[in-house]
Amino acid sequence: MEGVGGWSWPLHGIRLHTADLDLTVMTEADLPTLWALLPDDLELNPHATTYAGLDVPANRRAVLAQGYWRALGMWSPDDWALPFVVRSAGAVVGAQWLEGPDWRSDRTVDSSSWLVAGARGRGLGRQMRAAVLALAFGPLRAEAAISSAVVDNAPSLGVSRSLGYHDTHRSVLEHSGQTLQHVRLDVKTWDASGRSRHVVVEGVDPALPLFGLDP
């Protein structure tokens, strides 16, 4: 993303590659494509602002756009959220987020993601999560990763468990009453799995100061 005088925001230089996927940090130019692909079964942030004058699809587009702007506009080394666009053979198939909500305190990352219906069931969810974990446990020096999903979301929990996460505890969502299963993965388990070997991470060094890290 080029700016004045050719200057670019360091985060947009980060690139992640797996056997079948390329992940690039989301830009404003990606939003129309992502709006068109948002799955109907994707539950967006229930606490996000909605607008009485907009219909449901327009409100969903607003939640996505404002989430993106908030992530990069309110970035700090203590609390950050990094959104990636996921492409397979050049076509956008989903989005993957990596977050450090209390980063300099606990060095723990969280994640969330979605895939278009036609890209599901092919192991791509596992690859995109592995990609951001390779970034987190590699150049970003994370100590742990957490995630969560409603207890009947077998695909999401299956991805987590296949990558070495273990179940920790359950909680209840206030807005829906659904039960969440929380999971956790530590750096030793990740390193022992050797999965980082299947991910190429590029362009991170210029962005390290934004994570409070020395290059």
Structural domain for 119, as ranges:
4-142+194-202
CATH of the domain at 108: 3.40.630.30
Structure tokens at 91: 């076509």
Asked whether residue 51 is assigned to any structural domain, the reply reads yes
Cα–Cα distance, 209 to 194 (Å, whole number): 27
- What pTM was computed for the model? 0.93
Give DSSP secondary structure letters for 40-73.
TT----TTS---TTS-HHHHHHHHHHHHHHHHHH
Over the stretch 130-186, which tens digit does the pLDDT of each residue have? 999 999 999 999 999 999 999 999 989 999 999 999 999 999 988 778 899 999 999
168 domain-assigned: no
- Does 209 map to a domain? no
CB atoms within 10 A of CB 170: 11
**Beta carbons within 8 Å of 160's beta carbon, 6+ residues apart:** 129, 147, 149, 183, 185
pLDDT digits (tens, 9 = 90+) for 63-79: 999 999 999 999 999 99
How many domains are contained in the chain?
1
| 134 is a domain residue | yes
**211 occurs within a structural domain:** no
